[in-house]
Structure 1
Amino acid sequence: MSRDVRRLLIVHHTASPTLRELFETVRRGATTDEIEGVEVVTRAALRATAVDLFEADGVILGTPANIGYMSGALKHFFDTIYYPCLEETRRLPYALYVHGNNDTTGAVRAVESIASGLGWERAHHPVTVTGAPDKDDLAACWELGATLAATISPE
């Protein structure tokens, strides 16, 4: 791939219609026509690999909050990439969106702790949605995607 095109990786565990809506909105923001030079690649958390991260210039993580924690699928992703990516992906810009039925605090804390351990740099505050998303939640998801794409854009 030419270096005048940057790659934004979206790693997600989309286990519900609500998470599908958030994921699609994040992807629309990341692929907006207003930002050029960014290729968006999506991977389900159980299929994403260290190679996907090595090829990425930024990453967006999406997860449900399950029993006060990130999904097992996203945890599995981190378990498989942590040591291979520990040195290679330092300073990688990242962002996070989380959906929960009543609380997302533990999931956000867990993801941010691991991202910090990897040396990643938060490029956008986490978007957290509890219950059904409203128009402000969806606007925040769109902005998260667009912000990460703009952060890594070569333009």
Structure 2
Amino acid sequence: MPKRLLIVAHAPSPNTLRLREAAERGARHPDVENVEVVVKAPLEAGPEDIRACDAILLGTTENLGYMSGALKDFFDRSYYPVLEKKQGLPCALYVRAGHDGTGTRRAVEGIVTGLRWRWVQEPLILRGDWQEAFVERVEELGLYLAAGLESGIL
């Protein structure tokens, strides 16, 4: 039975949409055959999506030193319904940060710690002015998660 990777990423701009698409492209790499990839915007995702997945990749913008309101809403709706059911869920995060991303990272880490999910990689903070390299880095993160799920190391 294939494993399921859930990508929940806020994409309010063309560039952040490119990041979400890159995460999906990486996760759907042709060499990864036994992973189902589900991609949703935070306002469309909920606890049932978390319960059905084997790993989760979160993506957000830095908004006033915090995560996007959409991702916060996702956590608000999902936290208690999955709290006891998905402990140890492998997770990763990318942040598109116009500034330093520290507050955003800290906020998401606090929620993930409460959920007892398991970080499989340091959060990827894409700081400062837009760089094309951001797309490649997020694509690699998607591939890493999918390949890790398929091989059983996550």
Report the TM range for the smaller structure's normalisation.
over 0.9
| Residue 132 (structure 2) aligns with | 134
Amino acid aligned to 1:89: K
Question: How many pairs align?
Answer: 151
Over the aligned positions, Cα root-mean-square deviation in angstroms equals 1.2
Counterpart in 1 of 2:69? 72
User: What TM-score results when the alignment is normalised by the length of structure 2?
Assistant: 0.93
Q: Which runs of 4+ in 1 moved over 2 A?
A: none
Cα separation, 2, equivalents of 1:139 and 1:14: 16
Partner AA of 1:133 in structure 2: Q
Would you say 1:92 and 2:110 are equivalent positions? no
Number of the residue aligned with 1:114: 111
For the residue of structure 1 that corresponds to 2:31, the secondary structure is coil
> Is 102-111 or 52-61 further displaced after alignment?
102-111
SS in 2 for 1:153: helix
- Contact 1:61 1:97 (8 Å CA) reproduced: yes
Residue aligning to 1:143: 140
Unmatched runs of 5 consecutive residues or more in structure 2: none
- State the one-letter code of the partner of 2:141: L
For each residue in 1:111-142, what CA deviation from the matched residue of structure 2 results, as whole angstroms up to 9, or x when unmatched? 1110111010011221111220232x222211
Gaps of 5+ in 1: none
Q: Does 1:51 align with 2:86?
A: no
- The secondary structure found in structure 2 opposite 1:97 is strand
Q: Does 1:30 align with 2:27?
A: yes
The Cα shift of 1:154 comes to: 5.3
Which residue in the other structure is 1:9 paired with?
6
Query: Offset of 1:82 from its aligned partner?
Result: 0.4
CA contact (8 A) 1:70 1:110 kept: yes
Distance 1:17 1:128 in 2: 18
